[in-house]
């Protein structure tokens, strides 16, 4: 692991790091905020998965999470959204290719060799974080925004017992039922929609997967709400099977980091309560 930068902030250290990923075959960059803590102490971890077009830098620079993480003693990890590099295949559109990994393990060419963001987030990066930082991996939470909200929900649902707390900001709740999902899943894993179900939060809930609890914030002025995000599908899926969920429609808020940063401290506090010893 190489250190790109470290900065003192809110009684902690904000770092940006890179490493060679065996899963993606590329150099991957991620950020970690570690609050000050007693020597030898292990701290709970909250993962933040970012959305389309983003890197680790978007939430690191605009998410306004550090004060809350310092207050509650929580490590905050922000990975990239896709592999990067001149040899990595790409697409001209913003919603496919670099910056749009959708947290899947691609099976279709030419994407299969590098686009393994599911394995990277579920296995490789957690092992690195556990080895390099004072992280208590028995106390993990996960959240994310938009495409990253989709990633947070599906990763948590597929890995029962790993995450004590799960939340999301304006998530893509059902790739089976939106244009972004249709394009990405067809391109990365093929046309068999039955295979897509493991990458669709609502389908996973319908198929029996459960979360300990769930918090979702969604802006009512989000231009992607009706056509892509379709929050009501998730609300209906949770209600049908009794999945605990607090889904808050925030009046007048859009899809931007102005929205995310407004409610970030709420989410950190919510995770912290569930990540206590």
Catalytic residue ranges? 146, 222, 255
The pair of three-digit structure tokens given for residue 86, joined into one six-digit string: 């001149």
Cα-based angle 34, 214, 134 (whole degrees, multiple of 5): 20
DSSP the chain: -EEEEEEEETTEEEEEEEEE-TTTSSEEEEEEEEE---TT--EEEEEEE--TT--HHHHHHHS--HHHHHHHT-EEEEE-SS--STTS---SSTTSBTTB-TT-B--STTTTTT-BHHHIIIIIHHHHHHHHS-EEEEEEEEEEBTHHHHHHHHHHHHSTTTEEEEEEES----GGGSHHHHHHHHHHH-S-HHHHGGG-HHHHHHTT---S--EEEEETT-TTIIIII-HHHHHHHHHHHT---EEEEETT--SSHHHHHHHHHHHHHHHHHHT--
């Amino acid at each position: 692991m190489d250190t790109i930068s470290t900065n003192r902030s809110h009684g902690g250290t904000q770092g940006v790091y890179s490493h060679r990923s065996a899963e993606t075959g590329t150099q991957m960059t991620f950020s970690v905020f570690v609050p000050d803590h007693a020597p030898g102490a292990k701290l709970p971890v909250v993962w933040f998965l970012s959305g389309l077009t983003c890197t680790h830098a978007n939430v690191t620079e605009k998410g306004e999470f550090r004060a809350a993480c310092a207050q509650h003693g929580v490590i905050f990890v922000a990975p990239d959204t896709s592999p990067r590099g001149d040899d990595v295949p790409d697409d001209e559109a913003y919603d496919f290719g670099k910056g749009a990994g959708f947290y899947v393990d691609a099976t279709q060419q030419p994407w299969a060799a590098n686009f393994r963001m599911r394995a990277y987030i579920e296995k490789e990066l957690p092992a690195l974080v556990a080895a390099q930082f004072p992280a208590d991996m028995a106390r993990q939470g996960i959240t994310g925004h938009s495409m990253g909200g989709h990633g947070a929900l599906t990763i948590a649902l597929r890995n029962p017992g790993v995450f004590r707390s799960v939340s999301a900001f304006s998530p893509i709740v059902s790739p089976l039922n939106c244009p972004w999902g249709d394009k990405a899943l067809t391109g990365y894993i093929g046309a068999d929609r039955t295979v897509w179900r493991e990458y669709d939060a609502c389908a996973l809930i319908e198929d029996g997967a459960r979360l300990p609890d769930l918090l979702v914030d969604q802006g009512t002025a989000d231009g992607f709400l009706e056509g892509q995000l379709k929050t009501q599908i998730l609300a209906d899926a949770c209600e049908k099977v009794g999945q605990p969920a607090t889904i808050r429609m925030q009046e007048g808020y859009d899809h931007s980091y102005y929205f995310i940063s407004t409610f970030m401290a709420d989410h950190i506090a919510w995770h912290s309560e569930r990540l206590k010893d």
